[in-house]
Structure 1
Amino acid sequence: MSENPGTTPAGEGQDPQVPPTTPDPTPASAVPPEPAPPAAPGYPPAGSYPPPGDYPPPGAHPAGAYEQPGGSGVDVMAAFTWGWKKFTENAGPIVLAVLGYVVGLGVIIGIWYAIMAAVLLGASDDLTIDANGNIHGGGPSMFATLFFVALMALVVTLLVSVFQAGFIQGALRISQGEKLTVDAFFKFKNLSAVILASLLVGVLAAIGYALCYLPGIVFMFFAMFTMYYVVDRGLGAVDALKASFQLVSKNAVTVLLLFLGIAVVTFVGGLVCFVGTLVALPLALLAQTYVYRRLNNEPVVD
């Protein structure tokens, strides 16, 4: 076999074939992509909008949500119209209840004055006034008289407050559509709180009236729903007074119109003497009940 000079043997001097390499799918130097920026507050992320029809109708409140007290736009004239309607529908029980309260209060006052007269009888001293206008005499009888008069005023105030609470309870039931009998106005609830609230309001009002009278009127204006919160919500005297102040302060214009309307109705009723009062007082209380319900966003049955 002849030599092949100048040639390289087969397989020598040639680089072995190396298969091509593919780049590393996850190079170490690769930086992970930044997360998507958060969506703007109040908007759902892209692609997550609810399908059509899932939105509540305009003006609707979510389930379980209730408006806070202090509703505006209460028609005071509608309150008196409603009060007159309910008075005519329940005139018998209402008038009989008023008569019962008036007669009962008159009997109590008569008995009280009889006791006071018996105590003071024969114990009175002659009162004399000198040239300088100074009062002489009186002695213990004068102080006893003042004591009995003050105590009588307190008793009458408490009795009137209890009667008022009974009427408020009846008016609240009328606002729920109930047909009442006379005994409904004589069923008292939360009586201890009624008495305490009456004392609290009476003392603060007396202080206000002593300060040139006007502060007392302003106080009674803000405290006019105190007894409603005691009877309707079962609140204590202080909490009921606070609730009344909050309700009136949020609805001052509406309550002022009611306040003036009640003053006009009671004044006109007083012009017709006792008969007018039998109508004016229940009418004013029913109108006040209507406004109380509506300002607390509670329904009133027509």
Structure 2
Amino acid sequence: MTNEPPPYPGEPNPSSGDLPSYGSTPPPPQGGYPPPPPGGYPPAPGGYGAAPYSAPDAIGYGWRKFKDNAGVMIAATLIVFVGGLVLGILSEVIAPSPSYFAPGGDFDFDAGATVASLVAQAVTGTFVYILVAMLTRGALDVVDGGNFDIGRAFGALDIVKVLITGLLLSVLSTIGFALCVLPGLIFSIFAYFTIYFVVDKDQDPVQSIGSSFSLVGRNFGDALLTGLLAVLVLLAGTLLCLVGLLAAIPIITLAGAYAFRRFQGEPVAP
């Protein structure tokens, strides 16, 4: 007589030799697959299941990717430099920046000259955004696992949409900085990812500004810290006789592309 329960009706009585030994792994069901290991599937690289976002990691990522694409990114930055310089000179030729002090040292405000100068800066600054958009599109290509290619980055731009976005950003930021600087600074912070949304998500200018405000607002602490570190990188580049900016600008653009992807939970290339 045994203590084993009787078999259910219609089922064979298994013998002790058919039972797995204690501590062993039972065989998979007929025709099936073994169960997954404990803990589920490994996390996907990049934004999905990756480590928490870190501002220093963003700058470090920008530095590593810059080293991999140094030559072409320095060339692209030179294009931005030269283009911006030419447009800045053109702005001064069209409407010189007024002097607010008379020869005797008295304050002298010329409203007409000030408005003309601001308009000229806004218009010429609009075309700088084409160069900025090229650098941004190339940085996104790198973060997505490709190489920086100036021709491909230019070719991927919707020039009309970039121009309209640039004009809108130039006008709004110029007005903001004219209103005691602080409003312009706040606008610049929250509108930072506007061009990223234009060149990557094909959003219209107004929608892209709203998307940038929303993205920065949801990640304000990380975005602000990343921005502060980016300013330090720019200062370091400036102190190196301005030559360091040829590295600093690509680094912070790549860091911005990294943050843009990570803030949206999108993957980035290792």
TM-score, normalised to structure 1, is 0.64
Return the alpha-carbon distance in structure 2 between the equivalents of residues 231 and 107 of structure 1.
24
Q: Does 1:75 align with 2:43?
A: no
How far does residue 172 in structure 1 lie from its aligned partner after superposition?
0.7
Q: Are the counterparts in 2 of residues 72 and 251 from structure 1 also a CA contact under 8 Å?
A: no
Question: Which residue does 2:18 correspond to in 1?
Answer: none
CA offset digits 1:33-82 (Å, max 9, x no partner): xxxxxxxxxxxxxxxxxxxx99xx8788xxxxxxx99x993111111111
Question: Which residue does 2:152 correspond to in 1?
Answer: 184
Q: Does 1:98 align with 2:66?
A: no
Comparing 154-163 with 223-232, which one deviates more in the overlay?
154-163
Match of 2:207 among 214, 222, 239: 239
How far does residue 245 in structure 1 lie from its aligned partner after superposition?
1.2
SS in 2 for 1:275: coil
Question: Which residue does 1:84 correspond to in 2?
Answer: 63
How far does residue 114 in structure 1 lie from its aligned partner after superposition?
6.0
Return the alpha-carbon distance in structure 1 between the equivalents of residues 104 and 186 of structure 2.
41
AA of the residue aligned to 1:229: F
Q: Are the counterparts in 1 of residues 198 and 205 from structure 2 also a CA contact under 8 Å?
A: yes
Question: Which residue does 2:11 correspond to in 1?
Answer: none
Task: Flag structure 1 segments of 5+ consecutive residues without an equivalent.
Answer: 1-52, 61-67, 118-127
Question: Which residue does 2:163 correspond to in 1?
Answer: 195
For residues 14-33 of structure 1, the aligned pairs below 5 Å read none
For residues 82-161 of structure 1, the aligned pairs below 5 Å read 82-110=61-89, 149-161=117-129
TM-score, normalised to structure 2, is 0.71
AA of the residue aligned to 2:202: G
Question: Which residue does 2:175 correspond to in 1?
Answer: 207
Match of 2:138 among 164, 167, 170: 170
For residues 253-292 of structure 1, the aligned pairs below 5 Å read 253-292=221-260
For residues 218-237 of structure 1, the aligned pairs below 5 Å read 218-237=186-205
Inter-CA distance 189–215: structure 2 relative to 1 (3 Å threshold): same
Inter-CA distance 233–99: structure 2 relative to 1 (3 Å threshold): same
CA offset digits 1:259-290 (Å, max 9, x no partner): 11111111111111321111111111100100
AA of the residue aligned to 2:85: G
Q: Are the counterparts in 2 of residues 165 and 188 from structure 1 also a CA contact under 8 Å?
A: no
Q: Are the counterparts in 2 of residues 248 and 255 from structure 1 also a CA contact under 8 Å?
A: yes
AA of the residue aligned to 1:99: L
Comparing 106-115 with 95-104, which one deviates more in the overlay?
106-115
Return the alpha-carbon distance in structure 2 between the equivalents of residues 130 and 114 of structure 1.
26
Task: Flag structure 2 segments of 5+ consecutive residues without an equivalent.
Answer: 1-33, 42-46, 97-101
**Percent identity among equivalent residues?**
32
Question: Which residue does 1:123 correspond to in 2?
Answer: none
Q: Are the counterparts in 1 of residues 72 and 148 from structure 2 also a CA contact under 8 Å?
A: yes
Compute the RMSD of aligned alpha carbons: 3.6
Q: Are the counterparts in 2 of residues 197 and 237 from structure 1 also a CA contact under 8 Å?
A: yes
Inter-CA distance 72–260: structure 2 relative to 1 (3 Å threshold): farther
For these two proteins, the number of residue pairs brought into alignment is 229
How far does residue 191 in structure 1 lie from its aligned partner after superposition?
2.0
How far does residue 256 in structure 1 lie from its aligned partner after superposition?
1.1
AA of the residue aligned to 1:291: A
Question: Which residue does 1:295 correspond to in 2?
Answer: 263
Inter-CA distance 59–161: structure 2 relative to 1 (3 Å threshold): farther
Rg (Cα) greater in structure: 1
